[in-house]
């Protein structure tokens, strides 16, 4: 441990340590567990306010002497109606689902460029940014915009030796409600089951490996084929016939 501290202080710290931002989310918690299982040194932070997260990230960067990789998880969002959308809700969603992740990517990139240690950033968002849904229109559109912006960032970061990839994760055992599970949601997915946050975390770990050193700017979908095949209609209210009340 003392030797590691000396390496940090001398600027020679090269161990593959990971910073997980948003570890209080289902995916963030799963990423923390997955990386630790694979032997990574993991530092985790979480906060509701954008400024708090950025401040925490900067403080941890200084304490740890830099990071090899950063995982940024985007929080979930409630269902919404376009016809009933209020400006306050739009502003809140924009801040949490778009502005905050972009600022965190920028902060990590600036810190990583300065010390030369950062090699990989993984942004974990939602599959609703890939496939349209009536009730997730607000979160989905912001996730889609975030992924598109991140692709442009990937082009800017590549010359600095930093790769940036996005994971669009679908519904998991941790996120579905009991009613959806009882209605056989998993049976209507291509794999016949709902996935787990750990499976998306496994993809994040893969993108941190040296074997992914030639991979950047990609949107990796981890949803069991949900966005590929679509959801069959059903009388439960989750599919193309979803929630008629939002159109009333």
Q: How does pLDDT run across 28-49, given as a tens digit for each residue?
A: 899 999 999 999 999 999 866 5
CA 221, CA 46: separation in Å to the nearest integer? 24
Rg of the chain, C-alpha, whole Å:
19
State the distance between the two ends of the chain, measured CA to CA, in whole angstroms: 62
Selected residue with higher pLDDT from 191 and 21: 21
Task: State the DSSP H helix or E strand holding residue 7, giving kind and residue range, or none if neither.
Answer: helix 2-9
pLDDT tens-digit map of 44-54? 998 665 568 88
Task: State the DSSP H helix or E strand holding residue 53, giving kind and residue range, or none if neither.
Answer: helix 50-64
pTM value is: 0.84
pLDDT of residue 183: 60
pLDDT tens-digit map of 185-231? 677 777 777 888 898 899 999 999 999 999 999 999 988 887 776 66
CB 172 within 8 A of CB 200: yes
Q: What angle do CA 156, 205, 5 make, to 5 degrees?
A: 85
Domain 16-247 CATH assignment equals 3.40.50.720: yes
Q: What angle do CA 100, 103, 106 make, to 5 degrees?
A: 150
Q: Can you tell me the mean pLDDT for 132-138?
A: 78
Closest CA to 181 of 189, 170, 173, 169: 173
Selected residue with higher pLDDT from 63 and 179: 63
Selected residue with higher pLDDT from 205 and 27: 205
């Amino acid at each position: 441990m003392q030797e590691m501290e000396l390496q940090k202080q001398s600027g020679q710290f090269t161990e593959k340590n990971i910073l997980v931002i948003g570890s209080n989310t289902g995916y963030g918690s799963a990423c923390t567990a997955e990386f630790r299982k694979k032997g990574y040194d993991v530092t985790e932070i979480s906060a509701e306010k954008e400024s708090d997260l950025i401040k925490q990230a900067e403080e941890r960067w200084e304490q740890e002497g830099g990071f090899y990789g950063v995982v940024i998880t985007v929080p979930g969002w409630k269902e919404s109606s376009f016809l009933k959308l209020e400006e306050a809700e739009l502003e809140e969603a924009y801040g949490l689902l778009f502005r905050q992740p972009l600022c965190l990517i920028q902060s990590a990139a600036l810190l990583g460029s300065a010390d030369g240690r950062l090699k990989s950033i993984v942004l974990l968002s939602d599959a609703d940014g890939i496939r349209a849904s009536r009730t997730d229109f607000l979160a989905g559109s912001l996730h889609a915009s975030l992924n598109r912006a991140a692709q442009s960032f990937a082009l800017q970061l590549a010359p600095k030796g930093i790769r940036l990839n996005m994971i669009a994760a679908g519904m998991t055992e941790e996120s579905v409600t009991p009613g959806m599970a009882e209605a056989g949601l998993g049976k209507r997915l291509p794999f016949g089951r709902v996935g787990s946050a750990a499976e998306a975390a496994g993809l994040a770990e893969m993108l941190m490996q040296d074997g992914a050193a030639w991979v950047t700017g990609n949107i990796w979908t981890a949803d069991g084929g949900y966005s590929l095949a679509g959801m069959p209609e059903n009388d439960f209210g989750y599919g193309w016939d979803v929630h008629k009340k939002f159109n009333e």
